[in-house]
Chains A and B, each alone.
Chain A
């Protein structure tokens, strides 16, 4: 994105390939392409949402940025420094500055550690210069900031509800005072009445602590409320990258339009027509063309032959990887109308 100057996080040509076990009769070495060339720039202070269906690479992208996975090729920058090639000693202070909240607070908290131990661990490990008194003070601060009670310190995870656990997981991510937080589906494991509590908490913390979020989710309605910019991913590639308003008001990529049409609406009526079955293509043997072409209503020969590059669409502020992004909506509408009359 040319308009982002001085990003806090940047990826360049990020690729992630996983070798799969070879079939015993086959010479082929199957390779799964989880990320194929992802370039994103995340601005300081913004909420950058990454949206897509399972297998699209959104979690892999988050983990590669965090250094939990080593990219097969490409570069990751944090505050202008390349971090994916750093050794562990060099990386430690960087890790304190970038943290992660995971989806399932039942799995992400160690059941045998009380809340104090869980929260003290990142400080002791990543900030060894801190004294025990500092550790205690920082734990108390973060508990207050995340709406947790000080009495929780000696309690174990099983004593808490899902919403409370997710607060603790957020507290753990913030205890080292990071500037950048990757939140991977932080509300999808929670009950509906709790989701709003956690979203509001994340919002308040962002204001108070000047945080930058990378928010990974499959739920577009949350994105609309929460995000500043959105990257829509499909099969390891960014399909559309745009300010949130553009994604909802003027989606350029046919896949974004499909995702929007799939949101159940409180007004009803949008599930009345039967939909044709779609399937994610195989990430093991990607076709040379656009990964979405097999499901796309308006795919042409060029889409199957040539992979579209992510490019700015006119001066809308949106970037999309589609050969027909300029008039995809008209083309899809024509197609639908033709289908009805024919």
Chain B
């Protein structure tokens, strides 16, 4: 059984008097134990919405309109708040973008860590303290013991995010959801934090959902990849395969547009236009107005996700035997 199964997940927000607008428009994903998945997309593509929906954390007035999120055999979306607390922050941990916002500025690091631990475990203060110091050491925070008394503002951005990771690891989670964990950090610190997350996930067989806009980070850290566009998954598969042989024209365009993928000084490939807002989506495939391969078919209907790609005219044809097997 997969660790996490998401089926046809949809999230909508009210708009106008009676209308609703869908921010997440039917997303499926399967995550095995210890597997690392990257979710890539532009702002507004629905990637953070997916993370919040998985944890049943969609805030009013938004709501999950359809779908299921099965974690270790239980549907998180139908659980009571009491039941889901056994899982959220315990078996599934979260790391968010800005550690200064995640951490409480008026509580010491130690207080925040022990509080988290005691919310999920029956444990004495002394034991909790020891465990917290151990986790701070695990994330390579220098002089961990004395940092327990420090306040967030006394730490650098990189150390703060290390503390956040230590808190996420306190309950020995089976899944970590990290939403742009290094976007607020400098490049050298990003490299430190991402290699730390990668090592910890590998060594402890922790599954990871890494939400980011950076294809380079995804290539370094994840095994599987999902590319989102306008609330939908447009391509999914092994990270290596998609980066080497992308099928969806959007994925192809994103990769081609990277300065790394073009000759020094040459003109960059550019995708024309920009992603449409979810309040004003075109008919059919949401990418068709920007797509050079679009036909009438694309303007008429949304292509289903088949062989990991939602496109009527994918770039690399699927191998013949695979096509036969499904027809």
Chain A residues close to B by CB (< 8 Å): 53-54, 161-164, 191-197, 199-200, 203, 218-222, 224-226, 244-245, 258-259, 261-280
Q: Which residue of B lies closest to A258 (CB)?
A: B188
Q: Is the CB of A259 within 8 A of B140?
A: no
The answer for the CA separation of A127 and B207 in the assembled complex, in Å, is: 61
Contact in complex: A262, B258 (CB < 8 Å): no
CA distance A199 to B266 in the complex (A): 11
Chain A neighbourhood of B275, CB < 8 A: 191, 193
Query: 19 A–B contact pairs at CB < 8 A?
Result: A53-B186, A161-B274, A192-B213, A192-B214, A193-B271, A197-B271, A218-B187, A220-B187, A225-B268, A259-B188, A263-B187, A265-B219, A266-B215, A266-B261, A271-B194, A274-B140, A275-B191, A275-B196, A278-B158
CB of B261 within 8 A of CB of A163, answer no
Contact with B220, one of A203, A218, A259, A264 (Cβ below 8 angstroms):
A264
B73, chain A: closest CB distance, angstroms: 33
The docked-state distance in angstroms from the alpha carbon of A193 to that of B254 is 6
Which residues of B255-284 are within 8 A (CB) of A?
255, 257-262, 264-265, 267-272, 274-275
Q: Which of A221, A224, A271, A279 has the most CB of B within 10 A?
A: A271
**Size of B's binding interface in residues, CB under 8 A:** 51
Contacts of A192 in B (CB 8 A): 42, 213-215, 254, 257-258
Q: A267 contacts which chain B residues (CB < 8 A)? A: 219
Give the residue of A53, A196, A270, A278 whose beta carbon is less than 8 angstroms from that of B268: A196
Task: Give min CB distance, B39 to chain A, whole Å.
Answer: 14
- Return the chain A residue nearest B261 by Cβ: A266
Distance of A56 Cα from B304 Cα, bound (Å): 48
Binding site for A on B (CB under 8 A): 42-43, 140-142, 156, 158-159, 162, 186-192, 194-196, 198-199, 213-217, 219-221, 239-240, 243, 253-255, 257-262, 264-265, 267-272, 274-275
Nearest-Cβ distance from residue A296 to partner chain B, whole angstroms: 12
| Supplied contacts A221-B260, A277-B192, 12 more A-B pairs, CB within 8 Å | A164-B274, A191-B274, A192-B215, A193-B42, A193-B253, A197-B272, A222-B259, A262-B187, A264-B214, A272-B198, A275-B192, A276-B140
What's the count of A-B pairs with C-beta under 8 Å?
Answer: 140
Known A196-B270, A264-B220; judge A275-B195 contact (CB<8 A): yes
Chain A contacts of B240 at CB under 8 A?
268
Most chain B CB inside 10 Å of its own CB: which residue of A245, A261, A266, A280: A266
Given the complex of chains A and B, what is the CA–CA distance between A193 and B270 in angstroms?
7
Sorted nearest first, the 9 A-B pairs with minimum C-beta distance are A264-B216, A225-B259, A262-B191, A196-B257, A53-B186, A191-B42, A271-B195, A271-B220, A196-B268
CA distance in complex: A61, B79 (Å) = 55
Query: Are B188 and A266 interface neighbours, CB within 8 A?
Result: no
Residues of B close to A262: CB separation below 8 A? 187-188, 190-191
